[in-house]
Amino acid sequence: MLEYEEKITDLFSKETAELITGAFSLLTNVRKTDVHFHLNLVVADEDDNKFTDCAFAGNVHFLVTDDKHFNRLKTIPFPSINIVSLEEFKKMLED
């Protein structure tokens, strides 16, 4: 959640970021997942591994990102974590 708060604060105020991240806990389609392992699949930016680990632990359908560091996951057979860009995700929602 701290990463989201940091990125939102880059665009808006800290108060806005706190309101948005606080709203996450109220949404029925958002689930807190505890990660008990570290896959270390993203080597170009090790800080990004928290998202990969959470995606795997949460058994998500896909991870939405435009960060090129995650492209490596497209070449790894296991665990299979489907990466989609923000534009691809937007198209899915529109369809």
Contact 88, 70 (CB under 8 A): no
How far from 50 is each of 37, 44, 56, 70, CA to CA, in Å? 10, 13, 10, 12
Say which DSSP state 84 is in.
Answer: E
Domain ranges of the chain: 1-32, 33-95
Only one residue has tokens 């808006």, namely 12
**In whole angstroms, what is the distance from residue 59 CA to residue 34 CA?**
12
pLDDT value for 65: 95
Question: Is the pLDDT score of 17 beyond 90?
Answer: yes
How do residues 27-68 score in pLDDT, each as one tens digit?
A: 998 888 888 889 999 999 999 999 999 999 989 999 999 999
Only one residue has tokens 């937007």, namely 90
pLDDT value for 91: 95
